[in-house]
């Protein structure tokens, strides 16, 4: 009886170990693919980091604020409109208002990253 119990425990451990290893491998592949989609290299890694930090991708943020391209004035205008429309005192939804806020936060990060990259590339051109 003890022998069968030991065999069951060992087999269960092997099954769980294989499943865990497979899950880690899939997660690693998914993160590599996400970095490639985000542009690869340091820029891709910083975009993936921003996505994880805010919990929202750049595409999702653009969809929420109904934007095609990143223009600071348009982002601000759409944000202010959607934020005020979804105000709880006006019968709006706090959840939607928070999504709008997070979308603007994500777009602000992206615009800041783009400005930093543009500044560094112009500095490189000036030094050459």
Domains and CATH numbers, the chain: 56-127 (1.10.287.110)
Whether 82 contacts 104, CB under 8 Å: no
CB half-sphere exposure, 72, CA atoms < 13 A: 6
Pair of tokens at residue 97? 């208002």
pLDDT recorded at residue 97: 93
Contact 98, 108 (CB under 8 A): no
Whether pLDDT at 39 is above 70:
no
Q: What pLDDT is attached to residue 41?
A: 62
Give the range among 51-55, 97-101, 116-120 with minimum mean pLDDT. Answer: 51-55
Band of pLDDT at residue 30, cut at 50, 70 and 90: confident
6 or 38: which carries more pLDDT confidence?
Answer: 6
Residues 116 and 124: beta-carbon distance below 8 Å: no
| Cα–Cα dist 78/69, whole Å | 12
């Amino acid at each position: 009886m003890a022998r069968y119990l030991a065999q069951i425990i060992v087999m269960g451990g092997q099954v769980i170990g294989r499943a865990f290893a497979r899950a880690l491998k899939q997660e690693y592949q998914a993160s590599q693919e996400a970095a490639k989609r985000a542009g690869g290299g340091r820029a891709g890694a910083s975009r993936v980091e921003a996505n994880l930090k805010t919990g929202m991708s750049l595409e999702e943020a653009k969809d929420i604020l109904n934007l095609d391209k990143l223009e600071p004035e348009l982002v601000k205008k759409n944000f202010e409109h959607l934020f005020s429309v979804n105000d709880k005192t006006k019968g709006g939804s706090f959840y939607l208002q928070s999504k709008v806020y997070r979308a603007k936060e994500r777009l602000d990060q992206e615009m800041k990253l783009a400005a930093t990259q543009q500044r560094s590339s112009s500095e490189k051109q000036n030094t050459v």
